[in-house]
Amino acid sequence: MSNFVRTLNRFIIEQERLYPEATGAFTALLSDIALAAKIISYHVNKAGLVDILGQAGTTNVYGEEQAKLDVFANDVLVRSLAYGGKLCAMASEESEDLIPIPDEVPMGKYVCVFDPLDGSSNIDVNVSIGTIFSIFRRVTPGDGPGQLEDLLQPGYAQVCAGYVIYGSSTMLVYTTGTGVHGFTLDPSYGEFVLSHENIKIPSKGKIYSVNESYYDYWDEGMRNYIRWAKKADPSDGRPLNSRYIGSLVADFHRNLLKGGIFLYPGDNKSPDRRKGKLRLLYEANPLAFIVEQAGGKASDGYRRILDIKPDSLHQRTPLFIGSREDVEIAEAFIQGKRKP
């Protein structure tokens, strides 16, 4: 008898069966995230109808208040996760502080941090955007509310990380430390179906993804890397191909499947950009866990992303992520060990 369609839920249950000590917490947590993703996906698909259905902050033809899509996505995730009984705290790129679990809900053993709708400047122009999430086991003792300490853990302590890309199809990609698996939303049944089992990133790619308009603000090492990447050299396949969507999830997803490197270095444009733009907790850590599980690498130019101990919820980090050899070459340039 051939195997039936493997939905996300079925796949997680199969995975949990391999670990008799598993409590089923992930099945519940990932189901909550998947449900939120389906709701967000549905609304992202309707975003182009905004002129017909009403702008954010207005009342639409049905008399409903319209929230901005990123605020809406945040609200959906918070409400979907808050009542499941598996979490003791959350943090979101959209909220300044820790998000507590309501008093009436039993406290769980995990915390979840997320970027509800990344690349939100691309919503208005029908370009792919995404949701990114990461889950840790709580470190504070007892079963009271979670603390900041539970959220400020280094990336290597993640027990699960994933993203949802709202693209030509909606896909959910996740890891729990045993490979990376991708599920495509079948809109006719509303189910995430296993479409990409055990994703591996090529060890070397042909693509570099960076916002080159910051060239004048970069340090010499970064400029040297880009000069090297653009220089024709048939002996090693250069020039690399430039591809930049400006949506981290979409740029990352393409490079994960095809091979390549995404770079967002620090720059001198303003003092708050010395560590770039992207956030360690909500963006860099989850994608770093995924890329390592797929055989790739993620670095801040000097250190492994997953080794950085965060000291605040919204701290930024430079990010060099993708195929292992490409990230190693970029690191050598950043550290001044290599010149074009």
Query: Which residues are near ligand AHM by CB under 6 A?
Result: 93, 115, 118-120, 211, 246-248, 277
Judged by beta carbon distances under 5 to 8 A according to partner kind, the member of Mg ion, ligand AHM, none in contact with residue 181 is: none
CB of 17 to ligand AHM, least distance (A): 36
SS3 assignment, position 180: strand
Closest to ligand AHM by CB, 211 vs 242, is 211
Residues 81 and 40: beta-carbon distance below 8 Å = no
Q: Which of 215, 118, 123, 205 is nearest to 162 (CA)?
A: 118
Place of tokens 């990133």: 201
Closest to ligand AHM by CB, 115 vs 331, is 115
Closest to ligand AHM by CB, 119 vs 310, is 119
CB of 219 to Mg ion, least distance (A): 24
Judged by beta carbon distances under 5 to 8 A according to partner kind, the member of Mg ion, ligand AHM, none in contact with residue 246 is: ligand AHM
Q: How many residues does the chain have?
A: 340
Judged by beta carbon distances under 5 to 8 A according to partner kind, the member of Mg ion, ligand AHM, none in contact with residue 150 is: none
Residues 265 and 273: beta-carbon distance below 8 Å = no
Q: Which of 246, 239, 238, 167 is nearest to 210 (CA)?
A: 246
Closest to Mg ion by CB, 267 vs 331, is 267
SS3 assignment, position 279: strand
Q: How far apart are CA 22 and CA 109, in angstroms?
A: 13
CB count in 10 Å sphere of residue 65: 10
CB of 244 to ligand AHM, least distance (A): 7
By beta-carbon distance, which residue lies closest to Mg ion?
118
Judged by beta carbon distances under 5 to 8 A according to partner kind, the member of ligand AHM, Mg ion, none in contact with residue 120 is: ligand AHM
Closest to ligand AHM by CB, 115 vs 326, is 115
Judged by beta carbon distances under 5 to 8 A according to partner kind, the member of ligand AHM, Mg ion, none in contact with residue 276 is: none
CB of 46 to ligand AHM, least distance (A): 19
User: Is the Cα dihedral 68, 92, 180, 208 positive or negative?
Assistant: positive
CB of 172 to ligand AHM, least distance (A): 17
Judged by beta carbon distances under 5 to 8 A according to partner kind, the member of ligand AHM, Mg ion, none in contact with residue 255 is: none
Q: How far apart are CA 321 and CA 300, in angstroms?
A: 9
Judged by beta carbon distances under 5 to 8 A according to partner kind, the member of Mg ion, ligand AHM, none in contact with residue 247 is: ligand AHM
Q: Which spans in the chain are helix H?
A: 8-17, 25-45, 50-53, 69-82, 148-151, 220-230, 248-258, 285-293, 324-334
CB of 319 to ligand AHM, least distance (A): 9
Quote the tokens at residue 121: 């400047």
Closest to Mg ion by CB, 25 vs 135, is 135
Burial class (CB in 10 A: 0-12, 13-18, 19+), 249: buried
Quote the tokens at residue 285: 């850590």
CB of 130 to Mg ion, least distance (A): 9
CB of 246 to ligand AHM, least distance (A): 5
Closest to Mg ion by CB, 96 vs 236, is 96
Residues 30 and 8: beta-carbon distance below 8 Å = yes
What is the binding site for Mg ion (CB under 5 A)?
Answer: 115, 118
Judged by beta carbon distances under 5 to 8 A according to partner kind, the member of Mg ion, ligand AHM, none in contact with residue 211 is: ligand AHM
Query: Which residue type sits at 169?
Result: S
Closest to ligand AHM by CB, 169 vs 211, is 211
